[in-house]
A = this chain, B = another copy of it.
Amino acid sequence: MATAADRPSRRADALSRERVVTAAVEILDAEGESGLTFRTLAKRLSTGAGAIYWHVQGKDELLAAAANTVIAVAIGGVRTRGKPAARLRAVALALFDAFEAHPWAGAQLARDPSRLAGARILEAVGGTLDALAVAPESQFAVASALADYIAGAAGLSAAHAAGPPGLDRTAFLEAAAQRWERLDPAEFPFVHRILRQVPDHDDREQFASGIDLILAGIEKRNSPRISPARPARA
């Protein structure tokens, strides 16, 4: 029942759940999702597969723990000072940067039944809503919308980085644009229209503008009665 850390540990380099997860994150970052194997992990930790299973239930739990770790680190590094809107932006951008540094984590979001990582995102964005004057009964819906948006950006950008990482960024964007270029213009007129903006657009900036869009929606909902005919204050 008890796992590690009950006792002082037997060797200096003793295995622990934390060391296993850390090694998994390192492999995922270096080799991509397909590079993480119980054999490669065992070799890196100089042990066997059975030893790993003592600290971790299985691969699903290992992936969930790895994603949870990088997300917790990203959120933990956010400054909690500044204006409410700036705080929300900082949280969102920290998550964006984390998912860009660890693309496998974005794909993992859609596969974690425990939803611990999802809860962290919800908590991080939800914690800023009081300061943004969002009514308590709306906070669940607004926080979910923000979390969904962030998770979606993470997931779709994870699709970019399939296979081993390290691909050149501009080269990749060109490849993506070429793939969409081949789509039938009659069936995908909008995609073709925006295609010329793809190569030189800034993912991060565009992501931030999406947050601003939702923020604008929040503000509008907060003061829905402002109309040109009847200004406040009177």
Q: Which residues of A contact B (CB under 8 A)?
A: 106-107, 109-116, 118-119, 122-123, 126-127, 129, 139-145, 147-156, 158-160, 162-163, 176, 179-180, 183, 187-191, 193-194, 197-198, 201, 206-207, 209-210, 212-221, 226-229, 231-233
Contact = CB atoms under 8 A, between A and B. Distances in A.
Copies in the complex: 2
Lowest 9 CB-CB distances: which A-B pairs, in order? A152-B152, A217-B217, A145-B210, A126-B190, A110-B155, A148-B152, A216-B217, A151-B152, A228-B231
A106 B107 CA distance: 10
A53 to B, nearest CB: 20
10 contacts: A106-B110, A109-B156, A111-B158, A111-B159, A115-B156, A119-B191, A122-B190, A145-B210, A148-B207, A155-B155
Contacts of A126: 190-191, 193-194
Contacts of A147: 152, 156
A177 to B, nearest CB: 11
B145 A149 contact: yes
Contact of A155 (B152, B183, B190, B215): B152
A220 B216 contact: yes
Contact of A188 (B119, B197, B233): B119
A148 B120 CA distance: 19
A156 B213 contact: no
A100 to B, nearest CB: 14
A159 B190 contact: no
A228 B144 CA distance: 30
B141 A148 contact: no
A127 B190 contact: yes
A109 to B, nearest CB: 6
